Amino acid sequence: MVARRLNGVTLTWCPDWWMHAEAISRLNAMWRAWENLRLDPALGMSTWWIHHADPQLHVLLDPDNGPFSACSPVEGHSEHPPAPLPTNPADPRMWLGTAFSSTAVAEQALED
């Protein structure tokens, strides 16, 4: 469905894309959006391309900062992918706030 010239300079891809957790997550999000939007006969596919596929592909195919930036469409998967973003342990009390609670969001929606 998607075809691009992959030169590793402006666009790149990993033939072993399934070895990249971020790629799996992004492709899964694209698929879920497609499954929902394909049922809209008017704007579904346009919405999917503009708001889901195009932005996700922009990140996935980015040779400088994307999840495949260490890989090559010709040479394949790199054993040295980009490192995950650094993180420090959060204060456990932070997770109790409503911003990180789907239950709190659902309860608030029922109250509204």
pLDDT, tens digit (0-9, with 9 covering 90-100), for 64-104: 999 999 999 999 999 888 888 899 998 888 888 777 776 65
Structural domain total, the chain: 1
> Which residues constitute the domain of residue 63?
1-79
* Structural domain contains residue 100: no
Distance CA 99, CA 111 (A): 17
Does 16 map to a domain?
yes
Q: 47-61 pLDDT, tens per residue?
A: 999 999 999 999 999
Backbone angles phi, psi at 100, to 5 degrees: -110, 15
Q: What is residue 7's three-state secondary structure?
A: coil
Structure tokens at 78: 């790199």
Q: Is residue 7 part of a domain?
A: yes
84 part of a folded domain: no
Is residue 52 one of the residues assigned to a domain?
yes
69 within domain boundaries: yes
- Could you tell me if residue 27 is inside a domain? yes
17 within some domain: yes
What pLDDT score was predicted for residue 60?
A: 97
Q: What is the pTM of this model?
A: 0.75
DSSP secondary-structure letter at 67? T
